[in-house]
Amino acid sequence: MAIDYYKLLRVNRDANAEELKRAYKKLAFKWHPDKNPGHDRVEAEDKFKQISEAYDVLTDARKRQIYDFYGHQYASFTHRDARDVFADLFGNDSKAMENRLECSLEELYSGSKREIMISRTVVRQSGKVRKIEETFVVTIVPGWKKGTKITFPKKGNQEPGMTPSDLIFVVHEKPHAVYEREGNDLVVKQSISLLDALTGKTLCLTTLDGRNLTIPVTDIVHPGYVMVIPDEGMPMSKEPTKKGNLKIKFDVNFPSRLSAEQKYEVMKVLIGS
């Protein structure tokens, strides 16, 4: 049986792209299977398939030319899935469903796995929308940074006539009591007395993976001095064998006052050096 694509879409034979789009949109939303549950669904699926096929042919210049010349009976095309045609035009996506993934610096250093329960809406076979709960396992890779996105395609909310949106987890870093992160480097702010700044000191730090780090400070520490410990920073997610640096930023605590005798002794030491 010959099918008249123009009649299906209710447009004139000289209809332009915008007119075809308007006509298809109106009919597609009317006949989308998700909007026609129950006994009407079979008829809706057939109608939806036909109008999507018509739109797919008439909006393709080469196919339309062949169709206009030979007609439906003699024009042989490979037709795309009706839902793909609909998706290409209307984006088919609901807005991506984003969730914050709060990660400790320890997790981002060593990696971990999280099981996260998410509530989302889905469209049942009947066309009705319902809410379900689903658990997703997120593997946190060592070295991931704030803003990293983990996407579960088509596992977000769904609306009638649309495919499910993507579910996206976005990494956020929790503040740490000791360390701050600067890219792949870790930063520690360390207060030090003037005496220790001049004579030296040994620092003891616990790393993010629980190791005890002993760091001798032998240089004279001046205000703003930064000590760099190579390979004790964050892992690099794209180069797992490499790490950034640990930076120790010193704040020298000067005494609020010195007696005349103390000043004299300091002068002797400094002048003598």
At 23-37, the pLDDT tens digits run 988 888 788 777 776
Give the tens place of pLDDT for each residue, 203-215.
Answer: 999 999 999 999 9
Which residue from 44, 87, 45, 63 is spatially nearest to 5, judged by alpha carbons? 63
CA-CA distance, 36 to 43, in Å (whole number)? 9
Structure confidence by residue, pLDDT tens digits, 173-212: 999 999 999 999 999 999 998 889 988 999 999 999 999 9
Non-local CB neighbours of 272 within 8 Å, separated by 6+ positions = none
d(C-alpha 177, C-alpha 183), whole Å: 18
Q: Give the pLDDT of residue 2.
A: 66
